[in-house]
Structure 1
């Protein structure tokens, strides 16, 4: 029993103990819950306090109008509210890619303060890349092992830290905020924990500060703009005003007050309408402003305080509300009273001036008509005189040419040559005067065609070659290797310029020589224009030109002095015409001379270069030839310029040369055993030296070397004519002739005497197909001359004395060619041509060739426009006549 009670008691004790344990566990759980609730409550209270602080801070940020004040509040909040031991604000440098310290707190040691304020962080600092380029936080807790983050912490003196963007845009902040603790971890400072309340509050505060900084900056910009506008408004000389849409003035600048004579207080009490003299003007101004939103330069009459009426220009723009209603008008008023008064005076003066100008214009028109009539009369007179002079000149030159083709005694030939030379000189003078007249009247047009530059130069040299040979002076030319063989330009006018310069050089040179060189360069001309040019230079060893007389050279009808005219003759037109032609071509011309006799002068001119492709380019003249390469050539030439040209030409073709000016020296080389494949020889002339030269040439020839002799030496030394040379050449040296001669000598072909062959060609009868020819000419001398010239060419011709006879003759029988004079009685050549063309089908029409003394500008075009096929001018030369006939039968073959 006792035992049972005992066991029951023990059981009860155990139940009570279990109940106590359960109760104790329940109490513990309740205690833990209470602690957790208290911690949560404390954290919640801290968060509430933090957001209240952030709210208050944001309110203060918004009230701030200075960036420094905002940054001070940022520093204070981080240190005293967020409880970080250190805080640094860094901003971008204005002139370097780096960040500098703007503010810092928590650096109490002098050394730490100095170090942090001297800190410079480059923008490419690795640890700052996320915050600078993406606007992300950079967090470095005490446990961080990232080397770049810990390195940055060392620079800013923080063992743990966080960096957030401050100011600017999200991806390009203008500054950074770094907060954290020093390496000595004081336990009551806030620890850097990711996602902690402090970091959230820091980010929130930085965002508010950034917005506040932007607002302050915008306010400062707007304030500066407003101040600038106000300064402009007040300092403007124009009268500015701002008014409501009802006409109430809101503001006015000092210029407007001065203009109307009111004080600021007075003018603001007066409506705009009261200033208008004419209310209708105010109404039209208001309607236009409401319709278009702005009005510019509206004229109105306004009244000042003192009652003075002003003419004004009004310009105004409306400021409108979102619904389109006008709110205010901003306008400008300009006083144009004086201008309007001046305009009225000017209008009165203009009427008077118009009347005077009209009268003067009528006078000028009458004067101009008289001048035009006088100029046309002068042109007609020059054309008529040209025709009248060329007609007898045609007979003189043509007949003397025919006379020289007959058997004459030496004295008769001399007389005939004097007649022809005088006639040619007179013709040159006539041509110069005609060219000068064309240039002065502006009627000279340049032709643009492709042509062979070397042929142009050689044809000009041929025309002065006879004179240079008579004076026993050297005449040569050289083209630089970079000069294109073909160019585009006016062949005739370029040849005329060259002929003028070469003729003068030969005329004023008594000993030595004349050398023409042509080069191409990219240098700017004397006038500064850049581009590729052809540079021509004519160098002589003549009398020279004193420097004080150079400026007279290119003037019309001007020479160096009267003694020059008496001794050498000439009109003084050649250089003036050359200068005008060069200028027309877009080039320039000048002269260089020291004025020392026998040292001569150099005439230069340049023209723009436009290369052209020729149908038959002689490229072999500038290339090494396999058949000539390695051959040895002996050059004996007493003129240094020609000797140098021969050396360069032969070297270009691949020959090895040895040259000298002495025949005796050449003999010495041969006697020493030197061998040559060919010899190119010329010799000085005159007296004993000429005879000795002939003997020395004979000795060289006797060695058996194939020799090419210049025909000038042959003509000057009759003894040499008995010898048979491999070839003879004329001067000036022509590369194509020299090349042909060398190829013939080296390859063993027969080479004709170039000079003799050319003479034979001139004297030979023209060989062409049979042609039925009609000659239309009213002058009896020219009739006879034309028939004789055609007879020399192997043709007989029918005659017609005027245009009517020509038309009738063509109607009677068919003709292949009609040589048509232009200026004839009864019916001129132009009208006769038109009638022939109109009455014949194309297949049966004869070729009509103008053969006229009309050589003025436009005469050729008038002939071709009338239906003629070709054009030659008087005086007629046999070669020109033959060329015209050749073109006829070549056209028939086509």
Structure 2
């Protein structure tokens, strides 16, 4: 059936249904005429619908054909373009996928390489862990070795310190009477020949004391920080002494030995002991390495410089060995004895004194040592210091004499405190003590003390303070006290104060007890000596004393036990107790003061410090 007819039938049927519904809802009565009318109306509607549907469908069909043609054209064009695009897209995808494929392949290759590197890294990590483990084992092993070495070093150092402390004590104890008696006898004996011999004994004792001090602190020599002790002395006398010490050795070897000091009969101001050690080492070395021929020393002083040249016809030194002879433990010849420290110490001492040494030598022909040491001309006013003091003491005003004596007696202890502060490099303490010295002795018109103290003040005001210069000035002050007889000054002071004092000494060495009794005992000073601390305590129960000297190392009861017992007793807690000991190791002073001692004096006894200590603890107005 044609399409337009189908549409007409459908439309007619729809109209019929509509009319039926209309009749039903409006209750229209149905009659034959109405049915006929409706039938005719439906038929007419069918025919019209058929006509119009055919007409409109034909037109629509044409339109659709045109549209179909257009769509076909568009379809063909779209398909062609789409095919072209698909080709391009395919090529693009092929290119992209080729690149991705290459990238994937590259990634796979790199992944394989990474895998291999990872395996290598794991192998290296394993090896590293093994090495670390071995290293840790080695470190632990080395640490144990170092701990053992440290313990051994500490043990050796402790043994060294104990040995040096023992050496110090054993050497200082006999040096006390040697130096002390020789000094006392030199004042009492007028015979020049005996006086000269006593001076030799005294000088030898001082040299031995200085050797002990340097032995106790050899590190100072190694670091070039040796304390300088300036004093005036005669150059000719010094080298004359060295000549007499070595002439026997020269004669025994058949050598022509000579020291030309005719042009050196002059007094200079420097460290006598250090210069002695330098000259003695050089001359002794020349004699030691010369088996035939001569050893000659030429000494002279020019422009504040001491020169001495030592010539010998000995074995000589090769050019390559000249640079090494100043090293520690080095010897020119293996056949020679000795530690090989002489020239090493000489070089270090010269450095301390700002001196120089030059060596010229040829093997088999001999050597020449040329030494230069800066010095100062002897300060003559130092030698007149005692005259200045005695002149002031001859004043008729007893009040002035008492004040002056008191100040002079205080000076040694103040200088000792000043030196202790300098060793600690405590600038404020040095300034404080020096200010006290300058003020006190400036007011007393003691220009020699004031002028030196003023030099210290000026040095302390500098931006870069020279501790060596300050030490030099302190040594000058110390030397001033050495020109005075403090025994006489103290007893004169006792007379002015109208005092008699009693001193108790506990000392196990008989020779030291006897010396102290000779040094201290006068009509105004009563000295009682006992051998140990227990005897001292028993004596304190029955007799009153003004001051007690205690040796540290004594049998039965030592000094530490004794002072602890004394200070624990309310009856004796204000009694001054001074440690008098041969223990001179650095740090001992603070150690023993903490035990309760009021002061600490080392052996050999320094007269000026001893009597200064008596003035402080026995005659002070504060007591």
Q: TM-score, normalised by structure 1?
A: 0.36
Pick 1 or 2: higher relative contact order, CA cutoff 8 A, min separation 6: 2
Point out the structure with the larger strand share. Answer: 1
Rg larger for = 2
Point out the structure with the larger helix share. Answer: 2
